[in-house]
Structure 1
Amino acid sequence: MMFFSKKINPYTFWVSILILIRAFLNYAIPLMDKTEARYAEIARIMAETNNWTTLQIDYGVPFWAKPPLSTWLSALSFNIFGVNEFAVRFPYLLLNILVILLIGKYAKRKGLDFLIPGLILLTIPEFLLHTGVVSTDTALAFCVTLVMISFWEGIHNKAQTFWKYLFFIGLGLGLLAKGPIIIILTAPPIFVWMVIFKQYKTVWKSLPWVLGILITAVVAIPWYYLAEQKTPGFFDYFIVGEHFKRFLSSGWKGDKYGFPKSQPMGMIWVFLFVFAIPWIQILIGKIWKNKTNLIKNKWVAFLLFWFLWTPLFFTVSKSLIHPYIMPVMVPIALLITHWWEEIKHKKRIITIALTIPILAFFIFVTASLFNKSNYYINSDKFFIENNTDKNIPMYHWENKSYSSQFYSKGTIKIIEDNADLSKNLNSKKPFLIIIPHKKIKNIDKESMKLLKELESNYKKSIYIFN
């Protein structure tokens, strides 16, 4: 296996291979419903309408659930590379590459290879997945990393004063990435660390608090002000609804855009142990082995509090999904790096870790070669692209999917019910309609007889009337 070659730096080789694999998949895999295609469509509308203030989930329909940073990045990428899957995912690939470059110095300081933390991150399934998934979680994780690393460097690295200001810039960007959650996820572990090591004076004197808070405000507040002015009601929905009501209730009735995410209490830990394999298991073993010395080392304690706080915070929430563990991927990698020389059987562990992404890559390629990937991917891409040459109206039964909106460039319409369907049939004009299999039972049988199935996947079929 190439990892054991002495002629090439194995860390450089495998980090490069994993980034290339992820970049290829970013290009090759269609945007999938619901979440990824939704954020891609919001970015597409932003780029098309040139409205950089109000996020829109459909033309003229504001999207209040998230701030704009991720959408800005994807929309800018569309303007550079065109409207396609690689373009919309490129910012997330870039952000995670920046994370790898940002933390490599901590390996160098221990006399290790710069890319060891990067290899660990890219072999964590959750991190590799979000190096190419359109969502707000990658941007939030980047901002959390920037805040935490800048805080540490700001009070310890006297030679590079820019870290003191990056700390506050990171907070401002975090407010634009996902809102006040950036403060919730970073302030408590920093505060606990300060209390335990009695670093109040050092922190107070090291960081430019007055100027820093002003920097954070200048970065974040203008958009919040303009968003409320453009669409009154945003602030109440986003701050009160998304940050308090959603956290406290998985069945929050005021949710305008999402879908139920009810999980058993404590499910965040299951997500962590499943989606961070095999490194989370290695880390737990090292923490247990070094349990008597954990709080004696300031750096280890800082990383440990950073690692533990996010899952502890979400332990009591039932409204969550697995990407919520993204902010702790970096402390996992840095803690493993700290104990790197103590870890036995490293080559075997790395081989196991590499197996997951490489196997996933070959499964996708094989499925594509046998034309099976199209059938099992939850996307309307192929329905849209394979039938656009017919130049007739296209509809979706009852509710549009976000992927159908994206790939039709917003032209797809809805047939809401049987009365609407009958009206279209009686017009005698040809049209296409995408129907989910589970919703066929809602359609009048006589109407269904007039529709001819063109193609299908595991979830839907597209029909033509002519």
Structure 2
Amino acid sequence: MASFGDANTVQNEPEPATLHLKVTYLPYIYGSLFLLFITRIVAIFLLPLTDTTESRYGEIARKMIETRDFITPQFDYGIPFWGKPPLHTWLSAAGINLFGENEFGARIFIFLAALLLLLFFYKWAKTIVGTNAALISVCVLSSTGLFFGASAFVMTDLAMAFGTTLSMMAFWSIATQGKAARIAGHLFFVGLAIGMLAKGPVAVVLTGIPIFLWLLIGWRWRVLQYLPWITGMLLAVILTAPWYYLAEQKTPGFLRYFIIGEHYERFVVSGWQGDLYGSGHSRAKGSIWLGWILAALPWSLIGGYMLFFPRKLRTAFRLDSAGLRSYLLLWTIAPMILFTPAANILASYVLPGLPAAALLLTILTVDIFGATPTKTVRILFGSGMALMIGVFVLLCAVLAISPDSLDLRSHKSTVKIASQRVEAPVFNLLGGRSYSLEFYTKGKVQVLADFDAISGLADNGKTDVLLVEPRQKAEVEQAFGDRFTYLGEFGRKAVLIEKIEGN
């Protein structure tokens, strides 16, 4: 048996967790993946950009194309967005540039990145556990609520997960193949660079935590000698340093805010008030674990069911001389380890660990129930896939038939209905910004500071559309009589249109 006490050996390749599937199962498996693919494509078109997260990032990408500033994302015209690096913005901006200022353009390249992640994950898992187990792992991953949503959601997490997944897969190849995995060694650093451009140093930390702990518990430190440190780090620097340098030069102060504010104060200061672009997501410390359970449904429940077989689980981990199961477990829980003490979190923060969780669940299913799926396993897997596909199809059906019934915080309908009533309406929003309104009006929104500002709309010679809180509707009607016609409530705002001759 190879041991890391011997400088000339590398980590043992694990024995494949062989999964025997009848040929008759394959049409159902491929059919499920096809339905997930089609449903997600349909949802790209049907689901409008909603406030605040997705529409904010979509509007930032739209502004990038409009202003042709590809270095500094803009929170508003002339106001830099320092909260995140621009990789996800570049992806969305590229789609908008090619396909127009719409949901498809904003989401398509993020979706393609998700498909590429699944492809790489499948090919990597196939070399470890065989075709069948790899295929089931892809089914599990792609049907989790979080991955399905994030796979075409305009935000940072999918791009970062792509980088961390690439690094973690590459490191395992290094651990099992040693110097022969030279390409994988460089891909490890490419993954880190992608993470740095997607979300910053947190991506490096999320990669480093499971690797460090895995090396520590198995005393596998010799694996590190097979990393191409010099050329790999040089490659990572070449890929990341130019943007960080240009961003700081263009808008001084970026590095201080991004490194300290976004990567320290945001997570340790409850109700952090330093956010330049909104407010922190204050949660009870430790709630990230609940977020993981919800994000990984229904498979997290099946994983919980496996805890009722402690003896088989202990045996599986104990006999795993290669350490694959412990590697996947640490990779899975790395986000929870990092964010347990954090006060400002989102459920999407667990996304980088989901690929490992999917593969680990598949392997442990074989360990506990055997290589040939039992009736219990078939029921659990089939029910889980059917449930999630059913939920996603139902969502698409509702979006197609009655989108307003979902009460989404989006103003796509607002813009559409107002534009049908009058030509060239001017949109006015009382109070804070609505990024979806900005996106669908191509940035042409006037934010009114207070109620008195409504009076100034009378003399601008344009047909104004006014958006206020529903509780303010009566106040507007009392103050301005029949000057405004109530259109309805859209995007959780009361929408009124100025009366002119003929409308």
TM-score w.r.t. structure 2 length?
A: 0.86
- The SS at the match of 2:486 is strand
Letter in 2 for 1:414: V
- Report if the CA contact (8 A) 2:46-2:396 is conserved: no
Aligned-residue CA RMSD in angstroms? 2.3
The reply to whether residue 325 of structure 1 matches residue 325 of structure 2 is no
The reply to whether residue 419 of structure 1 matches residue 452 of structure 2 is yes
Q: Where does residue 149 of structure 1 map in the other structure?
A: 169
- The SS at the match of 2:281 is coil
How many aligned residue pairs are there?
Answer: 463
Q: Where does residue 180 of structure 1 map in the other structure?
A: 201
Q: Where does residue 127 of structure 1 map in the other structure?
A: 147
Whichever of the two has the greater Rg, that structure is 2
Q: Where does residue 102 of structure 1 map in the other structure?
A: 120
The reply to whether residue 312 of structure 1 matches residue 337 of structure 2 is yes
Work out the CA distance in 2 between the residues paired with 1:367 and 1:272.
Answer: 27
Q: Where does residue 212 of structure 1 map in the other structure?
A: 232
The reply to whether residue 45 of structure 1 matches residue 45 of structure 2 is no
Per the TM alignment, residue 25 of structure 1 is displaced from its structure 2 partner at its CA by 0.3
The reply to whether residue 191 of structure 1 matches residue 212 of structure 2 is yes
Of 331, 344, 353, the residue aligned with 2:384 is: 353
Work out the CA distance in 2 between the residues paired with 1:151 and 1:131.
Answer: 24
Of 26, 37, 42, the residue aligned with 1:24 is: 42
Taking every aligned residue pair, what percent have the same amino acid on both sides?
Answer: 33
Relative to structure 2, which stretch is displaced further, 34-43 or 46-55? 46-55
The reply to whether residue 267 of structure 1 matches residue 287 of structure 2 is yes
- The SS at the match of 1:57 is strand
Per the TM alignment, residue 428 of structure 1 is displaced from its structure 2 partner at its CA by 6.1
* 5+ residue gaps, structure 1: none
Relative to structure 2, which stretch is displaced further, 271-280 or 38-47? 271-280
Structure with the greater relative contact order (CA < 8 A, sep ≥ 6): 1 or 2?
2
Q: Where does residue 395 of structure 2 map in the other structure?
A: 364
- Report if the CA contact (8 A) 2:486-2:495 is conserved: yes
Work out the CA distance in 1 between the residues paired with 2:461 and 2:156.
Answer: 44
Q: Where does residue 170 of structure 1 map in the other structure?
A: 191
Work out the CA distance in 2 between the residues paired with 1:141 and 1:91.
Answer: 15
Work out the CA distance in 2 between the residues paired with 1:270 and 1:253.
Answer: 25
Work out the CA distance in 2 between the residues paired with 1:91 and 1:71.
Answer: 10
- The SS at the match of 2:137 is helix
* 5+ residue gaps, structure 2: 1-20
1:407-446 superposed matches below 5 A: 407-427=440-460, 429-440=462-473, 445-446=478-479
Regions of 4+ moved over 6 Å: none
Relative to structure 2, which stretch is displaced further, 7-16 or 271-280? 7-16
Q: Where does residue 486 of structure 2 map in the other structure?
A: 453
Cα pair distance change 1:431/1:229, threshold 3 Å: same
Q: Where does residue 410 of structure 2 map in the other structure?
A: 379
Work out the CA distance in 2 between the residues paired with 1:257 and 1:448.
Answer: 36
Work out the CA distance in 1 between the residues paired with 2:72 and 2:170.
Answer: 31
- Report if the CA contact (8 A) 2:415-2:441 is conserved: yes
- The SS at the match of 2:429 is strand
Work out the CA distance in 2 between the residues paired with 1:375 and 1:434.
Answer: 19
- Report if the CA contact (8 A) 1:104-1:116 is conserved: no
- Report if the CA contact (8 A) 2:410-2:490 is conserved: no
Q: Where does residue 224 of structure 1 map in the other structure?
A: 244
Which digits, 9 at most, give the CA deviation of each residue in 1:380-439, with x for residues without a partner? 011112223521322111222000000000111112212321121255643111223145
Per the TM alignment, residue 76 of structure 1 is displaced from its structure 2 partner at its CA by 1.0
- The SS at the match of 2:159 is helix
Letter in 1 for 2:223: T
- The SS at the match of 1:115 is helix
Which digits, 9 at most, give the CA deviation of each residue in 1:68-125, with x for residues without a partner? 1100111111122222112211122222212221122324543342421110112211
- Report if the CA contact (8 A) 1:418-1:444 is conserved: no
Work out the CA distance in 2 between the residues paired with 1:9 and 1:452.
Answer: 55
1:47-86 superposed matches below 5 A: 47-86=65-104
Work out the CA distance in 1 between the residues paired with 2:486 and 2:332.
Answer: 51
Cα pair distance change 1:17/1:451, threshold 3 Å: same
The reply to whether residue 290 of structure 1 matches residue 326 of structure 2 is no
Per the TM alignment, residue 4 of structure 1 is displaced from its structure 2 partner at its CA by 9.5
Work out the CA distance in 2 between the residues paired with 1:375 and 1:422.
Answer: 33
